Amino acid sequence: MENRDNDTTTDVDIAIVGGGPAGLSAALALVRARRAVTVIDGGQPRNRFAPHMHGVLGHDGLPPTELLRRGRAEIEGYGGVFVDGDVTSVSVEEGSILISAGGEVVHARRLLAATGLRDELPDIEGLREQWGRGVVVCPYCDGWERRNGVIGILATSPQSVDQAQLLRQWSDRIVYFANLIGEPDADAERRLVARGIRIERREVARIRTDQDDRLTGVELTDGEIVDVGAIFTGPTMYPLDELLLSLGATTTGAHGIRWVAIDADGRTSVPNVWAVGNVVDPRANVPVSLGAGALIAGAINADLVKEDVEAALARINARSEVDPEEASSLLR
Ligand SMILES: Cc1cc2nc3c(=O)[nH]c(=O)nc-3n(C[C@H](O)[C@H](O)[C@H](O)COP(=O)(O)OP(=O)(O)OC[C@H]3O[C@@H](n4cnc5c(N)ncnc54)[C@H](O)[C@@H]3O)c2cc1C
């Protein structure tokens, strides 16, 4: 890797914006493929609120920050470079991509956006403070730890009925708090009742905790407290895709949200710009993000190899105009 302009500008093969599981997994595969990689990361992974991470083979129960710390160390061991901070702008100049983060400017042949998404929770007193501990989203990440306990479902969309039915797999004591979105329709109600799920229609006032800051219940506006040990809810998700949109990436609608469109290899509509993980896929939990990062790294490397071959041929063609003998000896 070559530094220019008082060490503030760097030329690399790939700049990865976002050092969560998706970005780091891609970075590891790419540095091992002997590519020059810089990862620029704002240090705000989506699951930073959770003390432990589950369902990640070989790492079940590990703190999420520890997975990232280990990943960074592995990547640095192969020569990968990290820049801490938020990327503020990206632009394309003569086929190369310019990425600015604080005082750093990175010139890259390819850009991989792995910037994740932001969760917006309903505005209920005490809810945000419990996010990642007493208030969670993913049954596969936190259902086991709540098995057989009283679980509240704070409904935020029609899919909350499915979330309640799913959680019934982990406990037969489920309370469905319907108030934020109104009554479930007759069919959904029949299905909830059939599985013994209690429907609570009264308005939720606040989340209750004990002196150790553990969630203990949901207080309703009439003063009654419903004891629950955990709340599963569905936050509104906002992909952190401003950089991709600023480059003109086309979007698609899925899961009721606008996402930057990618092909099966993670290519966006902007030449040489790729995306992976939660920024383009809400279903990408940690193992899926790790897998997608590795897969897309392979596709990016193959794309660079193709470009390297073309560049080598172009060099030889240019020489043949000057010295045909030398050019043909290079091809032998
Ligand atoms: C509370 C909670 C608990 C969870 N628990 C689990 C679990 O137990 N198991 C599981 O499999 N999944 C879990 N998940 C899901 C998990 O968080 C995501 O699957 C995972 O974080 C997605 O990885 P990612 O790399 O796409 O994004 P992220 O991990 O969110 O990483 C994105 C990174 O990009 C950086 N970034 C964003 N914009 C910029 C910018 N402009 N410049 C520079 N950097 C930028 C961010 O700072 C961040 O570090 C949980 C999610 C939540 C909300």
Q: How far is the CA of 18 from the centre of ligand 1 (A)?
A: 9
Percent of the chain past pLDDT 90, that is, above it, reads 87
What pLDDT, on a 0 to 100 scale, did the predictor assign at position 326?
Answer: 80
Ligand 1 close to Cβ of residue 33 (< 6 A): no
* Pair 100, 88: CB distance under 8 Å: yes
For domain 2-118+237-319, the CATH superfamily is: FAD/NAD(P)-binding domain (3.50.50.60)
In whole angstroms, give the CA distance from residue 272 to residue 266: 11
Please check whether the two domains, 2-118+237-319 and 122-234, share a CATH topology.
yes
Q: What count of other Cβ atoms lies within 10 Å of the Cβ of residue 317? A: 10
pLDDT at 256 over 80: no
Complete DSSP assignment for 270-310: STTEEE-GGGT-TT--HHHHHHHHHHHHHHHHHHHHHHHHH
Domains of the chain by residue range: 2-118+237-319, 122-234
Ligand 1 close to Cβ of residue 143 (< 6 A): no
Q: What count of other Cβ atoms lies within 10 Å of the Cβ of residue 27? A: 32
pTM for the model stands at 0.94
| Residue position matching structure tokens 């596709």 | 299
Q: How far is the CA of 246 from the centre of ligand 1 (A)?
A: 21
Ligand 1 close to Cβ of residue 289 (< 6 A): yes
- From atom 33 of ligand 1, which residue's Cα is the shortest distance away? 18
Tell me: the pLDDT tens digits for 170-229? 999 999 999 999 889 999 999 999 999 999 999 999 999 999 999 999 999 999 999 999
What pLDDT, on a 0 to 100 scale, did the predictor assign at position 4?
Answer: 39
Tell me: the pLDDT tens digits for 94-115? 878 999 998 889 999 999 999 9
Average pLDDT value for residue range 132-137: 97
For domain 122-234, the CATH superfamily is: FAD/NAD(P)-binding domain (3.50.50.60)
Ligand 1 close to Cβ of residue 244 (< 6 A): no
Sign, CA torsion 48/168/183/179: negative
Ligand 1 close to Cβ of residue 21 (< 6 A): yes
Measured from the Cα of 49, ligand 1's closest atom is 1
Tell me: the pLDDT tens digits for 74-88? 999 999 999 999 999
Ligand 1 close to Cβ of residue 45 (< 6 A): yes
Q: How far is the CA of 45 from the centre of ligand 1 (A)?
A: 4
